[in-house]
Amino acid sequence: MLKVRGLEVFYGPIRAVRGIDLDIAQGEIVALIGANGAGKTTTIRAIAGLTPFRGEISYDGRPLTPNNAERNLRAGLALVPEGRGILGSMSVEDNLLMGIYCRSDQAEAMADIGRMFERFPILERRRASMASLLSGGEQQMLAIARALLSRPRVLLLDEPSLGLAPKMSDIVFGLIAELRKDGMTVLLVEQKARQTLKVADRAYLLETGRVIKSGAAAALAADSAVSEAFLGGMPGVQPGA
């Protein structure tokens, strides 16, 4: 459903992404894992249409042109950016309303907000609160709920567990697994490789802008080269956990 070939992204003279190939099939959770600076955010932003790139990105067989985020969103690609991107000085409810601005079916979209409140009762309890007053985990829920309100076909998640307490991080990974059960397609960018490889179907390991390993998530989790390169070489122990 999404196909990336020879993706390159430059920041001035710096080639942050150096020829990445990826495939995401409908209903899959595909993970991009790698250390800080590997090029994960740059890749997911290129797919969302937020950055110029070279190479090809196609979605349902049609090419996506660079820097076309609004069109990509309407086509069904919704990004939850690193750092969540919610507006802290606006209420929880107003942040959710931002999620439906691209919808033409406003009545149904309002009903979807009601469904989000059922799915995330904490957001309903805090609907009038300023979003900045929510905990980090609640803000992540809000960011995901807002993205889901565009009724995406592919959810692009950039480090959803970043900065969350372990318990909240588990809740976020559980939510991603639930979304998959509902049939959502997910591209999940994460540094927490071990937890990520448990929920993902397939994964790509990035290092300095290149894919150095890819395959079934279970196979990558068991791959000694992956654990030495990235997971710290001790199965069951996650760096920084």
Ligand X SMILES: Nc1ncnc2c1ncn2[C@@H]1O[C@H](COP(=O)(O)OP(=O)(O)O)[C@@H](O)[C@H]1O
Q: Residue of minimal CB distance from Mg ion?
A: 41
Interface size with Mg ion, residues (CB under 5 A): 3
The pair of structure tokens assigned to 122 is 């904490």
Task: Please choose which of Mg ion, ligand X, none residue 89 contacts, taking the beta carbon within 5 to 8 angstroms, the exact cut-off set by kind.
Answer: none
Which of 7, 40, 140, 204 binds ligand X (CB under 6 A)? It is: 40
CB of 207 within 8 A of CB of 25? Answer: no
Q: What is the DSSP letter of 220?
A: H
Alpha-carbon distance 10 to 147, whole Å?
27
Show the site string, 190-229: x = touches Mg ion by CB under 5 A, - = not: ----------------------------------------
Alpha-carbon distance 187 to 190, whole Å?
10
Which of 2, 41, 59, 209 binds Mg ion (CB under 5 A)? It is: 41
Does residue 84 bind ligand X (CB under 6 A)?
A: no
CB of 159 to Mg ion, least distance (A): 6
Task: Please choose which of ligand X, Mg ion, none residue 192 contacts, taking the beta carbon within 5 to 8 angstroms, the exact cut-off set by kind.
Answer: none
Alpha helix ranges (H) inside the chain = 40-48, 69-74, 92-98, 106-119, 121-125, 136-148, 166-181, 193-199, 217-222, 224-226
| Per-residue three-class SS string for 100-143 | CCCCCCHHHHHHHHHHHHHHCHHHHHCCCCEHHHCCHHHHHHHH
Which of 38, 77, 172, 205 binds ligand X (CB under 6 A)? It is: 38
**CA torsion through residues 74, 78, 83, 89, sign:** positive
The count of C-alpha atoms lying within 13 angstroms of the C-alpha of 3, restricted to the half-sphere facing its C-beta, is 9
Does residue 14 bind ligand X (CB under 6 A)?
A: yes
CB of 41 within 8 A of CB of 190? Answer: no
Q: What is the DSSP letter of 164?
A: -
Interface size with ligand X, residues (CB under 6 A): 11
Which of 2, 7, 16, 30 binds ligand X (CB under 6 A)? It is: 16
Which of 5, 11, 25, 56 binds ligand X (CB under 6 A)? It is: 11
Task: Please choose which of ligand X, Mg ion, none residue 14 contacts, taking the beta carbon within 5 to 8 angstroms, the exact cut-off set by kind.
Answer: ligand X
Does residue 161 bind Mg ion (CB under 5 A)?
A: no
CB of 40 to Mg ion, least distance (A): 5
Q: Which is nearer to ligand X, 79 or 92 (CB)?
A: 79
CB of 207 within 8 A of CB of 50? Answer: no
Binding stretches for ligand X (CB under 6 A): 11, 14, 16, 34, 36-42
Binding residues for Mg ion, per CB under 5 A? 40-41, 82
